[in-house]
Amino acid sequence: MAKGKKGPRQAFGLKCSVCGMFNYITQRNKINTPEKLKLRKYCKTCRKPTEHKESSKLK
Ligand SMILES: [Zn+2]
């Protein structure tokens, strides 16, 4: 159990930049990766790979 565990790793949602749907949840180490993530991933709403941007909200 990771209850109350704090560290540089933070969970982020990955949001499709085309339709705005949350498709993935990922983790990022703030120390190793200070910049925002931008990934090309498949979006099932757009039904094609789109650019996904990091968003701190997980809903
Ligand atoms: Zn999409």
Mean pLDDT split into 10-residue runs, the chain, 59 residues: 67 92 86 81 97 79
pTM here? 0.70
Distance 42 CA to ligand 1 centre (A): 8
Domain boundaries, the chain: 9-33
Q: What is the pLDDT of residue 8?
A: 73
CA 27 to each of CA 9, 12, 34, 37, 42: distance values in angstroms, whole numbers, following the listed order: 6, 6, 12, 10, 18
Distance 38 CA to ligand 1 centre (A): 14
Q: Is the dihedral of CA 19, 33, 28, 6 positive or negative?
A: negative
> What contacts 14, CB < 8 A, 6 or more positions away?
22, 23, 24, 25, 26, 37, 39, 41, 52, 53, 54, 55
